[in-house]
Amino acid sequence: MNFVETRGNDGIKPVEATFSHAILNPSASFGGLYVPKELPKLEENFIQNHVDKSYKELAFDILKAFEIDIDDDEINKALALYDNFDDASNPCPVVRVKDDLFVHEQYHGPTRAFKDMALQPFGSILSSIAKKRDEHYLILAATSGDTGPAALNTFKNKENIQVACLYPDGGTSDVQRLQMVCEDGDNLKVLGIHGNFDDAQSALKNLLASQSFKDELERDGIKLSAANSVNFGRIIFQIIYHFWSYIQLHKQEEITFGEKIYLVVPSGNFGNVLGGFYAQEMGLPIEKLLVASNENDILTQWINTGVYDIRDKELKLTKSPAMDILKSSNIERVIYSLYGPKRTKEFFDDLNEKKIFTMTQKETEELKKYFSAINSDDAYGAKVIKNFLDDGYLMDPHTATCLKAYEELKEKDLKTVIYSTAEWTKFSPTVLNALHENSTSYVDKEALEIISKEYNATLPSSIKELFSAKINHDSVINKENIEEEIVKFIKG
Ligand SMILES: *Cc1c(COP(=O)(O)O)cnc(C)c1O
């Protein structure tokens, strides 16, 4: 199947692209994104036929439905990485926490957050295509905490790929920082930046725009690609697990075939919930996708009013930092699906020029057929964490934002799956503050130890080992020196 561009074609880039092209060169004409030309419709009994299949078999069949230009043995090699999750047969378990409420745990991979679900197989696929084409790629990443560790982990020692990862020094949790600076692999460079996440991200944008930098890369025969969720190579793996949610509920005899369910997704860049939207379009019986946000309420505002307005908005730093966002990239793919490329280009031109776009009432009604949205604050999240622990379930602050949607947005009495995007171990000081109802400032190591002791919670060895691991990347630099450092790195 071929891929097309969300904002139409500029006459220079190809009008249609293969999957390989779309993931190696993720930026499309006019700053748009690649999307499948049409979504595959699965056979009528697809879900029934997969009830007794493994996650890898389900994933394989969904990838094949997209007719991607990747050989079967490369697909299988990529999917085999799910064997490294806690339970190879069930990489993302769906567990019941209350009568009609289930948690889909997406954090059982190597870096303990949902990014592994897609980045693990994606890293393998990207490297295999680059190798096949005999091309070399540099992946640049700026991270606020979860993407960096997951990208470094998946690309370490992969052929034909180098990764340079920028993080704000002091702006991530200790666990997240250690996951990055302790990662080894000759093809990885991790740089702390003096400044906050915005500084790291804008430094990366400057680098992408720098002619001297591009010249250097070209001289060494290196191309640039991206590993964030603008890359469809991540999105395709984020469709699969929504089918898994449904199949798991069926296996647990909670639903009958065809019965609809709600999915609640804690959202930032909208990649996770976009996977749910695509799954629904492919035939998964979803009543509605409920979008949870934190105090950065731009997604709630957009879905409820049809207006995306960031003119007077400032990014707020919250206890669910992976959802702190103003510009959410993947809403563009939904907009393209519902209103086509011409409208998509109009909206995003408006957003770039005026920091606002406005949909018609009719367009907004269409959007609301698929999505409902609500946001909550850190104090609400802390109460949720405490209440659930009282019932024996430990959750992270991102997962906690889902409960507001569960309580307030459901219109029908249907089973609901909330997505747990990180393990509590990645945000242990916030979790401990919630459990102890205090605001003491803890370091991660201390909070991890207290929680595991007091609440008998298991610490995965990958987290425990971080605190005695060798630090392989100790540079913290000024923004002005980033280009020089990365050029030094690619020159080996
Ligand atoms: C990335 C991330 C999110 C947001 O997911 P999007 O696909 O960007 O909407 C939520 N929670 C955690 C823990 C994450 O790492």
Give one DSSP letter per residue of 367-426, joined into a string: HHHHEEEEE--HHHHHHHHHHHHHTT----HHHHTHHHHHHHT--S---EEEEE-B-GGG
pLDDT of residue 445: 96
Atom number in ligand 1 closest to CA 325: 8
- State phi, psi for 25 to the nearest 5 degrees: -125, 75
For 295-347, write each residue's pLDDT tens digit.
999 999 999 999 999 999 998 999 999 999 999 999 999 999 999 999 999 99
pLDDT for 236 beyond 90: yes
How far does the centroid of ligand 1 lie from the alpha carbon of residue 132, in Å? 31
What is the average pLDDT value for the chain, to the nearest integer? 96
How far does the centroid of ligand 1 lie from the alpha carbon of residue 228, in Å? 11
Indicate left, alpha or beta for 378 from its phi (over 0: left) and psi (-120 to 50: alpha).
alpha
pLDDT for 228 beyond 90: no
The first and second tokens of residue 285, run together, are 């019986």
pLDDT of residue 119: 97
Atom number in ligand 1 closest to CA 268: 9
Domain count, the chain: 1
pLDDT for 471 beyond 90: yes
Pocket test for ligand 1, best of 92, 104, 146, 242 (most atoms within 8 A of CB): 146
Distances, alpha carbon 167 to alpha carbons 22, 99, 383, in Å: 26, 41, 30
Query: pLDDT-derived band of residue 422, with 50, 70 and 90 as boundaries?
Result: very high
- Does 123 reside within a domain? no
- Does 434 reside within a domain? yes
- Does 147 reside within a domain? no
- Does 401 reside within a domain? yes
For 256-307, write each residue's pLDDT tens digit.
999 999 999 999 999 999 999 999 999 999 999 999 999 999 999 999 999 9
Integer-rounded Cα Rg, in Å, for the chain is 21
Q: What is the CATH number of the domain that holds 356?
A: 3.40.50.1100
Q: CA 472, CA 411: separation in Å to the nearest integer?
A: 51
Mark 48-65 as b/e (b = at least 16 C-beta within 10 Å): eebeeeebbebbbbbbeb
Percent of the chain residues past pLDDT 90, beyond the cut: 89
Q: Is the CB of 146 under 6 A from ligand 1?
A: yes
Q: Is the CB of 398 under 6 A from ligand 1?
A: yes
Q: Is the CB of 420 under 6 A from ligand 1?
A: no
Please choose, from the candidates 109, 186, 121, 103, the residue with its C-alpha nearest in 3D space to the C-alpha of residue 146: 109
- Does 274 reside within a domain? yes
pLDDT of residue 121: 98
How far does the centroid of ligand 1 lie from the alpha carbon of residue 114, in Å? 7
- Does 375 reside within a domain? yes
pLDDT of residue 363: 98
For 90-117, write each residue's pLDDT tens digit.
999 999 999 899 999 999 999 999 999 9
pLDDT of residue 145: 87
Q: Is the CB of 318 under 6 A from ligand 1?
A: no
Q: Is the CB of 266 under 6 A from ligand 1?
A: yes
Its domain, for residue 315, covers 87-112+233-467
Q: Which residue in the block uniquely carries the two structure tokens 């569960």?
A: 406
With both helix axes pointing from N to C terminus, report the angle between 482-490 and 197-209 in degrees, rounded to the nearest 10.
60
Reported as half-sphere exposure (CB side, CA atoms, 13 A), residue 224 has a value of 19
Name which of 196-205, 308-317, 471-480 the model is least confident about: 196-205
Please choose, from the candidates 377, 353, 327, the residue with its C-alpha nearest in 3D space to the C-alpha of residue 202: 327
- Does 265 reside within a domain? yes
Atom number in ligand 1 closest to CA 271: 7
Contact between 200 and 177 (Cβ < 8 Å): no
Higher pLDDT, 126 or 203: 126
Mean pLDDT of 187-207: 88
Query: pLDDT-derived band of residue 372, with 50, 70 and 90 as boundaries?
Result: very high
Atom number in ligand 1 closest to CA 115: 15
How far does the centroid of ligand 1 lie from the alpha carbon of residue 350, in Å? 26
- Does 184 reside within a domain? no
Higher pLDDT, 166 or 226: 166
pLDDT of residue 205: 82
Percent of the chain residues past pLDDT 70, beyond the cut: 100
Mean pLDDT of 140-153: 92
